[in-house]
Chains A and B, each alone.
Chain A
Amino acid sequence: METLKRAFNDRRAVVGALILIVLGLMALLAPLLAQHPPSQLSNDTWLHPNSQHWLGTTALGQDVFSQLLYGSRLSLLVGLVTGLIATVISVIVGLASAFFGGVVDDILSGITNIFLVLPGLPLVIVAAAYLQVSGVVPVIAVISFTGWAWGARVLRSQALSLRDRDFVQAAVAGGEGPLRVIFAEILPNMVGLIAANFFGAALYAVLAEAGLEFLGVGDVSQVTWGTMLYWAQSSQALLQGAWPWIATPGLCIAALGTAFALLNFAVDEVANPRLRSERVAAESKPLALKPAGAPPAGDALLQLRHLEAGYLTEKGTVRAVKDVNLEVHRGEFLGIAGESGCGKSTLAFAVAQLLRPPGQVLSGEVWLNGQELVRLPPEALRQTRWKDFSMVFQSSMNALNPVMRVGDQIADAMRAHGVSDKSLIEARVKELFGMVGIRPEYMVAYPHQLSGGMKQRVVIAIALALEPRLVIMDEPTTALDVVVQRSILQEIDAVRRRLNLSIVFITHDLSLLVEMSDRVAIMYAGEIVELAPSHDLYANPLHPYTRRLMNAFPPLEGERTRRDGIAGRPPDLGRVIQGCPFAPRCDRAMTGLCEVVAPLRLEVSAGHVVACHLYDPNVMKGRAEDHAIAAD
């Protein structure tokens, strides 16, 4: 339902529906609009369009316009009814195939495959010729008979994937019977696809019917757009100059077909979220940036200055990274932790200049090794990428091209940066594989031949290919098992020490981060709320959020005590946030202060920065005085 509603927000769907409505009105109002009965013969043959006969007359003196109006009735009927029947068959076959599986599936899929490749139209023609068709019923039957297979195939695979979804399993485990599972659980989720399929089948039906009738194998005594074309063609209408007789029914068929095709396309787009979001992406525009300041003076490899990034959506700007200032030193392992939705990935992508619309760096500077990345022209950026910094994505399971050998995917990156010596590349690939612990035989393997852990290792090998100074890793091991995770992390750490790389490592697993990092930054609601050397952070977490987050990991040793999570949720970054973003969830929030005034970032001890009023001496002093006054 939701999908259908959304489909009708689409311009194309509206146009399609409008065409359908106009044609429907033609069919309904034919007796009112037509000045002549459609089949009435007269002596006024071959008339050109005039006020009596708007589209002229036929070889037998029938009014073309009236025929066109009345013809819409059967043409529409055939299209809709055939589409419906074919769709019903598709749904039944597809669902039965998916739901029963086993032998039933084998047989039904076999039949579907046969009907898919059998040439439908010739079969329809032969069948119709045998049936000596009279009336539209056989036409509908024959076209439905050949038009269901494509839909059955698509619906089967959709139903198969739905059948394995947990909510179906949950319904079964709850005691739901098979019919209800099919009709109440699976089917409602297929509405979009079924609708798309219906429009597709209707389009096929309209075209097939026109073809049949044009050949004269339908019932040519009926008035449809197809039979009009048949009679026009057999009377050589074009040579007589009676072009409306041919042009208009054809156009009407094309219009009806287009209406179905537009609806099919629009529903398809809604049912496939990727097509949709990309469309939004194509529509957003770049912002103007202020010129950058001077390059950093210190020894920082990476310096972020007042970095702001977010997403320009229809509902407004989502500010996912707010005024982030951060330095990463050479050889440093910097961890970033926080709940999901706090802007960690956005920060990583903003640093790497990889945000795709609607995502965007809004302002600020990213200095890497003396270069400002935000304002770098695309070609210079492309060259810097991977040479100076590389990135490992959150979802590395899909980061490898399925049709390319994994070794080539490393070579690819090297070639793009000017390494062209084949033997050099091969030696390097071998070396990299050794570094991340994969046997060199796997260089020629395709991604599907590797396990999840191995794919992740390949991705890390690609990230190290050009020995960049900085590697940004966005939850690279979250999807992996602890044992695999540990061994990959050990390898990353060894490589870092050997090559003196800097690593920015993002994860929500704070206990892992504390173990691995030199420094840890805690992110909340797009801001860095605490930054400290990791041992310092572990021994002495300051920000109430950090403390709660730390507490959220039960220990492996020691007493088993009851712990609490963090009540509430991170704020919606699309809204304006007043005061400290954590205040509503904070058990130490000071009313009248925290929800009003945003805390400053203060360095409370060497390298330990926190943004919380509790550690702001001025604020606390002021409050103490207030209390003293109040107590007086």
Chain B
Amino acid sequence: MLYLLHKFALLLLTLWAALTINFFLPRLVPGNPIGAMIAKYQGRLDPNAAKALMIAYGLEGHDKNVLTQYGDYLFKLTKGDLGRSISFFPAPVTEMIGGAAPWTIGLVGVSTVFSFLLGSGLGVYTAARRGSRFADALVPLALFLNSVPYFWFALIALYVFAFLLGWFPLGGGVDIVTGPNWSLSWILSVVAHAILPGATIVLTAMGGWLIAMRNNLVSTLGEDYVAFARAKGLSETRVLYAYGIRNAILPSLTAFGMALGFVLGGSILTEVVFGYPGLGTLLYHSVTSLDYPLMQAIFLFISLAVLVANFLVDATYALLDPRVRTGQA
């Protein structure tokens, strides 16, 4: 329990760090990014919006020093107020994120977990069957997949399977004409749109998990307790599962938690390629239209999601490792 408390404290600390980076970033960069943005929107920007922006970024109201602004910022955050989007003024950014997040969580979240399971499974296979040609060939393949840019792989998949072969829709999250939300045809359409992007995420993310699991399991299988388990006359399956994998999964889980941020970051680029209506596409939009409030809110939201996911991974870890559970590690 102490372990989880510790992890929760780390979560809060990291969240605070993300919030702080988020606050200071626009204030630290040289030049005047907000000015540039306002200039870019010159004429098309609602004067209210411009004023709100100036205040939000401390360009107006010089009576307030940075610390007061920082306090205001944190206070507003506690009320869930992240400001309003510029490019879709006056939509509050929280609302926009609320619309996009379910798509991302559904696609990227599910694909990431799936790729971890699949990659780890194949990692077990390559470790247990070392020496067989197929198992050994999987390793360089995994290294290659792990090195492929997600979005590029997505582009190629889109071209081949959607454009050339026409097996999948060309983009988007769901067809507009399929009927009310959660109707059967709507769900089928959502699934049809998710398969290709999901598959590209699974394939590209899988390589890393495969290598991690393979190396962990190979090390574990060399441990004395595995040799001793064999000596006891346990079946190979029992040795592999209860002694090998059961231990090798622990460092793999740690690696999973650590890499989540990177993988999620990469996966959102996949959304851009597929025009998937999730956070990645929204982030892309906000970057191209210099919509700073939206951009920052998305960053915060992704950070929060990663942190929560990480905490869940830590909790799972604690559940699986008695050394942590009994607080003696």
Chain A residues near B (Cβ < 8 Å): 12, 110, 113-114, 116-127, 129-132, 150, 203-204, 206-207, 210-211, 214-217, 229, 233, 238-239, 243, 246-247, 249-250, 253-258, 260-262, 265, 268, 272, 274-275, 277-279, 282-283, 352, 354, 356, 382-387, 390-391, 393, 395-396, 398-404, 412-413, 416-417, 446, 448-449, 459, 462
Contacts and interface: CB of A to CB of B under 8 A. Distances in A.
B156 A403 contact: no
A398 B131 contact: no
B55 interface: no
A454 to B, nearest CB: 15
A214 B303 contact: no
B188 interface: no
A234 to B, nearest CB: 10
Interface residues of B, number: 90
B228 A393 contact: yes
B159 to A, nearest CB: 4
A110 B232 contact: no
B296 interface: yes
Contacts of A459: 228
A247 B266 CA distance: 19
A126 B159 contact: no
A243 B250 CA distance: 43
Nearest to B225: A401
A459 B283 CA distance: 57
A356 B269 contact: no
Contacts of B260: 117, 119
B206 interface: no
A412 B292 CA distance: 60
B135 to A, nearest CB: 10
B163 A254 contact: no
B323 A120 contact: no
Contact of A401 (B29, B243, B265): B243
Given A121-B265, A390-B231, A214 B219 contact: no
A190 B234 CA distance: 39
Interface in B296-311: 296, 298-299, 302-303, 306-307, 310
Contact of A238 (B36, B159, B322): B159
Contacts of B233: 382-387, 413, 416-417
Contacts of A399: 224-225, 227-228
A459 B246 CA distance: 20
Nearest to B310: A117
Contacts, number: 262
A220 to B, nearest CB: 11
Nearest to B150: A211
Interface in B215-240: 215, 218-219, 221-225, 227-235, 238
Contacts of A272: 215, 219
Given A268-B215, A275-B218, A382-B235, A132 B321 contact: no
Nearest to B214: A275
Interface stretch (B58-66, B71-79, B86-94, B139-147): B139-147
Contacts of A354: 227, 230-231
B284 interface: yes
B239 to A, nearest CB: 10
B258 A150 contact: yes
Contacts of A261: 143-144, 146-147
B290 interface: yes
Contacts of A243: 159
B15 to A, nearest CB: 9
Contacts of B238: 412, 416
Contacts of A254: 144, 147-149, 152
B26 to A, nearest CB: 6
What 5 A-B pairs have minimum CB-CB distances, sorted nearest first? A121-B265, A257-B147, A250-B152, A385-B233, A119-B261
Interface in B255-295: 257-258, 260-262, 264-266, 268-269, 272-273, 283-284, 287-288, 290, 292, 295
Contacts of A262: 140, 143
A278 B143 contact: no
Nearest to A391: B231
Contacts of B17: 114, 118
Nearest to B257: A117
Nearest to B247: A403
Contacts of A386: 231-233
Contacts of B224: 393, 395-396, 398-399
B130 A278 contact: yes
Given A130-B25, A214-B269, A239-B163, A118 B147 contact: no
B233 to A, nearest CB: 4
B116 interface: no
B31 interface: yes
B219 A385 contact: no
Contact of B229 (A114, A250, A255, A401): A401
B155 to A, nearest CB: 6
A275 B221 CA distance: 10
A123 B21 contact: yes
A275 B146 CA distance: 20
Nearest to B224: A398
Contacts of B29: 130-131
A113 B14 contact: yes
A255 B265 CA distance: 21
Nearest to A123: B299
B33 interface: yes
Contacts of B242: 401, 404, 412
Given A262-B140, A382-B233, A448-B323, A121 B155 contact: no
A172 to B, nearest CB: 28
Nearest to B208: A261
12 contacts: A117-B260, A122-B298, A125-B287, A129-B292, A129-B295, A203-B147, A214-B151, A261-B143, A384-B233, A386-B233, A401-B247, A412-B238
